[in-house]
Structure 1
Amino acid sequence: MKKLFVFAFILFASIKLTAQTDGISYQALILNPKNQEIPGQDVSGNIFPNKKLEIRFTIINAAGVVEYTEVQSTMTDSYGMINLVIGQGAPSYGVFTKIMWDGTKKDLKVEINLNGSYTDLSNQALLFTPYAYHRDIMATGDLLVAGKVGFSGDLIVEGTTDLNKSLTVKNGSATQLTGSLDVDGAVAMNNAVTVGGATSLKSTLTVDGAMQVNNSFTVTGPAVFNDLGVRTLNVKSDNSAFVATFENQNGGNGDGLLIKLGRTHGAWNGSSYLNIENPLVNAFDGQINTVKGWLNGGSFSPIQLLNLMPATFIAGAMAQITNSITSSINDGLNLPIGFDAVVVPKTLILPEVEIFPGITMPPGIPDIPKVRTPKVELPSFEILPAIPNLIPRIPNIPTDGLPNLSIPEIPSQVVTNSLTKENQYVTFQDKEGRTTGTIRAQSTKDFRDNTILDNVYVLNVVASFTGIDLLGGIASGSAQISNLTDRFNKLGVEYSSGNGDYAEWLERIDQNEYLSAGDIVAVKGGKITRDLSNAEQIMAVSHHPIILGNTPEKGKSFMGNDIAFMGQVPVKVMGSVQSGDYIVANSKIKGYGIAIHPDKMKAEDHVLAVGRAWDNMPNEGPKMVNTVVGVHNGDWAKIITKIEEKQKLYEDKFDKIEATMKILDKKADNLLLIDQNN
């Protein structure tokens, strides 16, 4: 009899678990709908062998909602059979591994596509949970397992898990906790522990083996680490005492704290440390030993102290200082100045003049030529000869045989892969993350930038040689040069906090005006200049600000300078200074100030004051003075108080004069009355 369906294909189908894979095994025999069954006869043409087709599986829950759909392309074998695993096809809806097998009814709908469209093949109930091993387990009550439980897949616990006995993870397998793990008792970890998220330990943690922490590790109680290796250690505490204590209980030569960075020492050239010779050590060797003897209980007189400075050094220093000054004068005046020879140039007195133009005659008759008067010239001649050296250069004082007190040559060699000031060993910040200081590495370039290439540093060295006391100046300058040499030979780290000033970038009025650190400037309309006329405010150019505001747009920084608004800043000053003096802009020497004692300050001086000196520098000449700027210290209140005191004094005097005038007026009235009565 002929089939009633378009495709009545299913002769046999089975569904079972595939334990080794994620899926349900599905088998079916596909029959050819065009052939008829003949009772008692085998009709080989009924099967549908070696045919390509598509099968669509749909899993529907008890509420009739589709949970999963997939399509698989396959081919029947020579017997018309297909063998598929539901869950390994191309899903068009849902995820097979996320189907919740919670024991409720589910239906499996099967469709077949032979000629471009799908036709229902079957729709049958799955009356059992298709897994002998469950991916997801939902237990609304207690789950009691008397025997061993083996998890070959993932175990996901959404709620709290209480482990009243030991938890053992064997076979070297990793255990990952992405949520919280609360342990009230002791935990012994004999091998590696990897924690991907936050871990809070409220009791003792004993680790005998290596422990790797890739994320935050919070310890609320005391912790002892005998050997701790971490990528980043962040210690936070709300503690009135010390946050961290590093104690080495070794009774010998044990050390404290070792910090290493991943580059090479700034002065290590690969085989030795860069070094420069101190030019003053040998020269002052005798004097140094003499002073050592005095410091060890000896006695000395003032004349012995004065005689310590070798005469050759005094002569050498004076000669070099004088030569430096004369060289500046020669260059400033463009000496030598001379005159070229005075020469009268060739002069034309009478030009050539044509008197008669000439006549062209007929053929056979000679032409009458032109008639010209010759030109008359006065030849060139020298009136005064050249004087090449009318004002010669000022000659230098010979320094042959005299010691050299110049700044030593600092090597410019840059070490390969050198540590630099960008490598910070320790950084100090406030609670908002503003850097207040650092302990950082140094390279030879950093050292040069901070010393011989720093105008402020060089000016201070020069200032050490100046002053009324010649001997003191030479000794001070020599010490500066010796200290520079010693600093280079100990190059390694620097302790940096700037000069403690807050600065902002301000644009210059004249882009071509050159301003450098320490210059005193006037502010006009938010721009700066050394011209003090009509100044709205007096400020100073910052050296190394610890905080910089009003950062200019990229490519415009050269148009302005960093100006100190508040804090300590080195300021250029001419003349001696005492701590507490006002530093007042000097209109005669642009960029420099002078020191004025508070008792000698006038109203106009306050208008030009940039701040108050925090240095004692009695030497004359130019220098950099540490000056506090932008800090209100009651100066104007003191001035107003003085004005009020004077005003009160004037008012008291006026009251006395007024009282005297009243007495005199009354006496005058009495005299008039007496006169009238007589």
Structure 2
Amino acid sequence: MRKSKIFFVQPDPSSSNPRKSKFNLGYIQSGFYLNLFKCLVFLIMAIGASSNLYGQIPSAIVEFEGKTGILIPRVTTAERDAIVDPKDGQLIYNMTDDRFYYFSDITDTWRRVSIDGDTPPGSTGTGEIPHQPSLGADWNVRGNEGADVFSSDPPLLGNTDYKPIVFITDDLERLRITEDGIVKIAGDLEVGEDLTVKQNVFLNTEGGSTSINGPTTVGGPAMNPATFTGPVQMDKTLNVDGATTLNNTLDVDGVTTLNNDLFVTGMSSTQLTGTLDVDKTLNVDGATTLQSNLDVNNMAPTHLTGTLDVDKTLNVDGATTLQSNLDVNNMAPTHLTGTLDVDKAFTVGTGSTAMLKFDPAKNLTSEDAFANYPLQITGAKQGMAIEVNAWQPDRNFIAFFSKGKDGTGAVEMRGRIEPNNNFLVNDFQMLAENLADPDMASESPDGSVQADDDTTFNAQAGVDANSMTMLPASGQTYSEINGEQLAEFIVLCVELIGAAITLGTSFTSIFDPLDIFEAALALAISAANLGMYIGFTLANLGIAYESGSGDYAEWLPRADTTEILHFGDVVGVIGGEVSKEYILADKFMVVSAAPAVLGNMPQTRHESKFEKIAFMGQVPVKVRGTVHIGDYILPSSDGDGLAIAVHPDKMKVKDFQRIVGIAWEDSKKENEKDLYQMINTAVGINQNDLARVIDQMQLVMNQMQEAIKEVNPAYEGFVFDTDSGVNGVNLSPDFTVSASHRSKIEEYFADKTYETQEELGQLVLDALVDVAGVNLTEIPVLENMLTNPEYAQKAQDYYAQKLVEYKNWMEQLKRNN
């Protein structure tokens, strides 16, 4: 039987042409079920066209019945592509790849009907829109091989319109893909392998919890940080390899172990409500605020390299070691209830407000016990040194005040610290020694002197030329020197220089041994005063006395304001004025060294016109010769400020009204060769009251002897020297004078002869040694000047030059004052 084409037609009600039109199955969206349906329809039609095995089925449009199948048009790929104007749903069999294809108007391509499960690989990615699948992209009814390997033509499962896709089991919705691509899963989701999420993940939005059983890495690059908006609970270890930034509170209920550094930056606070245990170093770069105690236990040291500010109490139970300064500012008090031990210098404050104040409650009155004194200094071989910066002589090194009975007000009481050491630097002691050194006394034009043995001595020997000259330059000051002591020192030097000039003038111009002797003795006394001042006042070279601040003194006016007076000088008082040149005076008193109480204080600018005179108590007095306790201390009557000691059994009547005081110590045998010694003397005991009575008795006896002499001119009576005197009677002084008194020196020189100036000088030297007891070894300039007239002239010129220099320095001190 010949084969022929069969057309299946159906009237088309919408067509105006009554002729037959092609069979139209209508538009059905392409897909897996559509392809299956098409195959079934053509199969039925083929079977129905050949035979009717089961009878006609009224409900079907076309019925195929038979046992041989239906043959679809078979073409090659080229023939398929050559079909003109294919219609949607048109079916062919491609003999090139042995596959069924249908034409789709949606994609305007031939789509393969997948059956055998050899679907080609698909796209390299998902979610790429728009996506138009190619010919072999439909899902295989038997499943697809290589579906997990994506290429440019992936297998597709779904729809092509804006509708959701729903997956159900047990007639219940389990998974929904919305028309926007959102995947919603009604039940649990179990992922057997890796889960990669490129965007945000929201967990437990309506409840529940998230459990992570394995290692978890949170975060990525710096631009993709992990953010937790709610609490994060971790039952086990949290390992963080990178940096951790906390913008809010970190609450840790258990133990926290940090194996590396902990940095809290951004000026953020770190609050620890419990104990902070640090096994090793705790480094804090910024400010640290502790609201409670800071305990450092186990005797462990605490090292602070910067400032420690404590607003309130700092309690330290153990020893505290400060390697640097301890500053207590804002005028805040520092209270120490225990002992303060300071190994080195202790400096209190700077500037004009610095003050060290002791105000203890100790009120023990016994002055014999060391422990009863509030300020105690023990140890070492020295006591206490005070250095002040003022040059003015009206400044005190130390002042004493006593409160009134009611505890208010104050009475100034002056005293001194014994021994007082090194008020002047050693250079000035060397200067004083140079003034009494014969090698310093005469300068040749080349700056040297020529001694008797033709040995050359430098005029600046013993003085470093690089460090200083004989006198400091104008404007130069020495902080070690107090102005009052320096002025006293210069005055003594000027006195010595003047005495040396006077001696040189007397010895080279006149031949009166008495005048030369008095000039030489004045030089010896000046040298002794300077040495005593340096030894006692400045250097404390073993010379001291124990009566410090032991007298009551008053300021009395000087008879001669240019006269040089020093403590220990004996002065006469006439009309309330004092002078050591008053040989016959109303009373003889002593210049006080350190009065305990000083009255009649003048204004400061007038102090130079007054002198402190001891009225009562114990004072040091310059005494010549041997002294025993209980000796009366009398003026030397030489007008040199020195005193002599007279045993009570050897006192003359006129001596009693000239008594200065009573010696309360013996002179020292080792110092007997000194011109004088400082002797502790009690003054003001009214020991002169008997003198007037005795003087009146002697006056009566003189008058009686005068009457007897008138009756018997041959009568040789003894006339007493009284203040009233006797007319016509030549009386010699009847009071004790020193061995160097002019009357005794006149007797000494009365039978002495000399031929040359050198012999005269030797005669005076002998008198100085034999009569005045001068130790020439301590004043070698005397021997050189009196044995060498040429040397004396050079010495006079040298001292004249030094006198100008010292007076200039004195003027500088006055300007500083």
Same fold (TM over 0.5): no
Computing the radius of gyration from Cα coordinates, the structure with the larger value is 2
Name which structure has the greater RCO, CA cutoff 8 Å, separation 6+: 2
TM-score (norm 2): 0.27
